Chain A
């Protein structure tokens, strides 16, 4: 036994309470401690994941009450896979921002690192918990950290973005609570496995209403179409690395919650029209909006929403190949989008509006960062030698298996749209000459932020050239998600 899943939550919370005290002793500790905690989370989650792959799902009880009476954590091939990605991206974001926030005062830096750490811990909690109310609590933790990080620069625009996010997040949290109340009033339990075992005894009335409230409640974090109005503003106004954290960590947790609800909680099998329709609308609206954006970070935000639409479509197919493609897309998006945000925020360093025209000709001044940005842009639009190609290909093959011609057509058309708007930026970046009046003053990136970006770029190339290095893990995770009966047996098996 290498450790226990509960430490993934307990240690960051302990550190979050400890950091203000340690900060009084030595100011540098508020930067170092969160990094050590995130590194520990990555090591713990990797070793637990390897153990799970060898010896099966770990179900951890809390407070000595086994499911369904107490809260339990489920560390399975699926949740382990997502947890490992999230903690890894969390560590990368920390590494990037370690010196990036050097010029900010101590008080602000302390809060930034506490929020970042709890953002990761809360997202991990959403993924590993086996209890719907516990998931609600973690969604609150993630939400509040995210609002605070959005408002980090305390300006007029960031306040507006954070307020928008706050209103949408709070309303959706109420909807989620209503869904939980409906389920508890009917089934008398909050445990996911027990709900899943009994959901078909619930009258269809309540089932449909509860599901609507669930979709609305989780949809805000998962960035599905009518509920994602906060995303472009929040991504634009939040500090650069935070945009990466939103795209790489928070949204993944939201999508997981949505998918867990559909596949496990409501025990739906076969194609899910609702996910496909929501995903298609999200994809079309987001990608066409991205085409029109003048601001770099806003464009990246819309591209991120579009990718999530694609993930939902792939999950909605409900087949093994579809789930595999969706998880592969999530992995790639979690690696590529932070790279785009990190390098993009260096290209538009210290500008207020982050206009695309401000990066004109920057490749001459900052060649390395520009190449990294280009790598991310090519990878996310799915060009062959990079990792994004394989995930997009697997979506297409999964759709072809099911004869879903409409989806194939849509994905191919949207790919062209993606290429258009990313190449528009690359064209300005590489083939225009540097103009003192319009462009930003070049800013030399710090050593650790370069390391963070290089690690992500190396991963993109690695997965691009050797996709088989990750497909095995994704395959197991997809099996795990589809096998609801196994999940119920493992969680509830402990009391029989």
Chain B
């Protein structure tokens, strides 16, 4: 009986949702153009950034990015604190199966290339698709590969936490520098250069590189914490 009522209510709600989203005017009935034209225009004319997504993420809505970076930091810290009491020593893992020699030698070969790709993605975040979050994730994948291939591969937790703290601090400091120079928090206070140059866009590439370092350090730390959790 209870189940029937719940299903009935959900079905009614689903019906209304469906007619709302399937209504033909969902795409066409926009009342206003909103902010998008301004974003497309100012990205090229004022920020001199080739990648509009990067300009929106780092500059127009940079405050949200700072918040998201904090969310990631919090999630990593929270996981660390929950699993803190259960940590093994280096070399003792939940998964004890040794990797085959093919995986081992292949990982050694491909690891530098993965790091290079990650660095490329976040350094060119303002020119090509990609950026700090993506590049950082790629680098963390490289460390994941090394961790599953070599049982005694270890990363110093202190170094990781220094990197993530420094990157976070510099992000806020660059924001505050904008506050002191240009008048508002996270303002692009440096010269923007020429569109499509590597050194263009003012603080945008700098902040995205910091985000890259932070994401890489945090995700690596997360993988490391989980791998060393007691079963």
Which residues of A are interface residues toward B (Cβ below 8 A)?
Answer: 4, 6, 9-10, 13-14, 16-18, 20-21, 24, 60-65, 68-71, 107-108, 111, 114-115, 118, 125, 133-134, 137-138, 140-141, 144-145, 147-148, 151-152, 154, 159, 162, 184-190, 198, 201-203, 205-206, 209
Chain A positions within 8 Å of B78 at CB level: 111, 115, 144-145, 147-148, 151
Chain B positions within 8 Å of A115 at CB level: 74, 77-78
Contact B74 A133 (CB under 8 A): no
Q: Who on chain A is nearest to B79 by CB? A: A148
Contact B74 A187 (CB under 8 A): no
The majority secondary structure among interface residues of chain A is: helix
C-alpha spacing A298/B106, complex, angstroms: 55
Contact with A along B34-65 (1 / 0, CB 8 A): 11101100100000000000000001111110
Q: Per a CB cutoff under 8 Å, which of A61, A134, A189 touches B67?
A: A134
Contact A107 B17 (CB under 8 A): no
Contact A188 B186 (CB under 8 A): no
Chain B positions within 8 Å of A133 at CB level: 61, 64
Contact A63 B82 (CB under 8 A): no
Chain A positions within 8 Å of B172 at CB level: 10, 13-14, 17
Contact with A along B71-83 (1 / 0, CB 8 A): 1011101101110
Contact A188 B36 (CB under 8 A): yes
Chain B positions within 8 Å of A108 at CB level: 81, 84
Contact B185 A62 (CB under 8 A): yes
A140 and B71 in contact, given A18-B169, A20-B165, A69-B60 (Cβ under 8 angstroms):
yes
Contact B39 A21 (CB under 8 A): no
A-B contact pairs, 6 of them (CB 8 A): A21-B162, A69-B35, A115-B78, A137-B71, A138-B67, A187-B32
A17 and B81 in contact, given A24-B158, A63-B59 (Cβ under 8 angstroms):
no
Q: How far is the CB of B150 from chain A (nearest CB, A)?
A: 27
Q: Who on chain A is nearest to B72 by CB? A: A144
C-alpha spacing A186/B67, complex, angstroms: 25
Q: How far is the CB of A348 from chain B (nearest CB, A)?
A: 24
Whether B187 sits at the interface, judged by CB under 8 Å, is yes
The majority secondary structure among interface residues of chain B is: helix
Contact A65 B60 (CB under 8 A): yes
Chain A positions within 8 Å of B82 at CB level: 148, 151, 154, 159, 162
Q: How far is the CB of A172 from chain B (nearest CB, A)?
A: 15
Chain A positions within 8 Å of B38 at CB level: 69
Chain B positions within 8 Å of A9 at CB level: 63
Chain B positions within 8 Å of A145 at CB level: 74, 78
**Interface-forming stretch among B89-97, B113-121, B173-181?**
B173-181
C-alpha spacing A18/B169, complex, angstroms: 7
A17 and B165 in contact, given A10-B172, A10-B176 (Cβ under 8 angstroms):
yes
Q: Who on chain B is nearest to A203 by CB? A: B29
Whether B183 sits at the interface, judged by CB under 8 Å, is yes
Contact B17 A187 (CB under 8 A): no
Interface size on B, residues (CB 8 A): 60
Chain B positions within 8 Å of A69 at CB level: 35, 38-39, 42, 60
**Interface-forming stretch among B20-28, B140-148, B192-200, B223-231?**
B20-28
A107 and B81 in contact, given A60-B184, A69-B38, A188-B35 (Cβ under 8 angstroms):
yes
Contact A62 B74 (CB under 8 A): no
Whether B8 sits at the interface, judged by CB under 8 Å, is no
C-alpha spacing A62/B34, complex, angstroms: 19
Whether B70 sits at the interface, judged by CB under 8 Å, is yes
For the complex of A and B, the 5 pairs showing the least CB-CB separation, nearest first, are A188-B34, A17-B168, A148-B78, A137-B67, A64-B187
Chain B positions within 8 Å of A16 at CB level: 70, 73, 168
C-alpha spacing A20/B217, complex, angstroms: 14
Whether B16 sits at the interface, judged by CB under 8 Å, is yes
Contact B182 A64 (CB under 8 A): yes
Contact B17 A63 (CB under 8 A): no
Q: How far is the CB of A180 from chain B (nearest CB, A)?
A: 12
Chain A positions within 8 Å of B34 at CB level: 68, 184, 187-189
Q: How far is the CB of A107 from chain B (nearest CB, A)?
A: 6
Q: Who on chain B is nearest to A118 by CB? A: B74
Chain A positions within 8 Å of B168 at CB level: 13-14, 16-17
Q: Per a CB cutoff under 8 Å, which of A18, A141, A151 touches B70?
A: A141
Chain B positions within 8 Å of A14 at CB level: 168-169, 172-173, 176
Q: How far is the CB of A125 from chain B (nearest CB, A)?
A: 7
C-alpha spacing A134/B38, complex, angstroms: 19
Q: Who on chain B is nearest to A209 by CB? A: B20
Whether B101 sits at the interface, judged by CB under 8 Å, is no
Contact B35 A6 (CB under 8 A): no
Chain B positions within 8 Å of A118 at CB level: 70, 74
Chain A positions within 8 Å of B74 at CB level: 115, 118, 141, 144-145, 148
Whether B33 sits at the interface, judged by CB under 8 Å, is yes
A4 and B17 in contact, given A21-B165, A187-B32 (Cβ under 8 angstroms):
no
Chain B positions within 8 Å of A186 at CB level: 29-31
Contact B188 A111 (CB under 8 A): no
